[in-house]
A = this chain, B = another copy of it.
């Protein structure tokens, strides 16, 4: 990574960085579903046993839904952020790499949460899950702070109004997820509820609000 970036980077460059990021996001979001396992045939279900066995693993579905929504939101944020980015440097590459690392850890954190949310160790599992979400919020915040300071990496035609909107949007993410993390040591359920609420808040309402002018 020591090649001197003397040439001004072209649009094509962010294109390949976006494509690689999309690949990681697409693989991670698809691997999430591998955590939903088929109940073992051999275990001798009673009548309508499969339906009961499927219903009994509801924490798996809940964790799946939450993490699917989370990676979807990351993709949308990544997309919106890169629309304003005109070029990048080595440090931004590294920050984007850290973001992708957090994304690849989401399937692990999801399995951990689903396996332990009804167990005595539920607080540990939820604390790990909230940590992953917190890291995501911090890295997005840092990526944007680095890219937008003095419009360092922004493309020339990025409107200031949009830049400011993203700045506002990313300001509170770290604090909100930090509170979810802290809450995990008090109540795993409350902390999980905050994570779900944040995901739904980020994903759903703005879509519905923008429906009219869409």
Contact = CB atoms under 8 A, between A and B. Distances in A.
Interface residues of A, number: 87
Given A32-B104, A128-B54, A4 B162 contact: yes
Contacts of A176: none
Nearest to A69: B97
Contact of A45 (B48, B121, B128, B152): B121
B6 A16 contact: no
Interface in A1-56: 1-7, 13, 16-20, 22-34, 36, 38, 41, 45, 47-51, 54
A124 B48 contact: yes
Given A2-B206, A50-B121, A94-B203, A26 B24 contact: yes
Contact of A68 (B1, B18, B19, B101): B101
Nearest to A23: B26
Contacts of A75: 20
A105 interface: yes
A51 B116 CA distance: 12
12 contacts: A1-B206, A3-B165, A4-B161, A4-B162, A5-B214, A20-B26, A27-B31, A33-B107, A36-B105, A50-B124, A68-B101, A91-B207
Given A7-B162, A90-B214, A91-B211, 18 more contacts: A1-B202, A2-B202, A3-B80, A19-B22, A20-B22, A22-B23, A24-B29, A26-B26, A29-B104, A36-B105, A38-B111, A48-B124, A50-B121, A54-B124, A72-B100, A76-B90, A91-B207, A92-B214
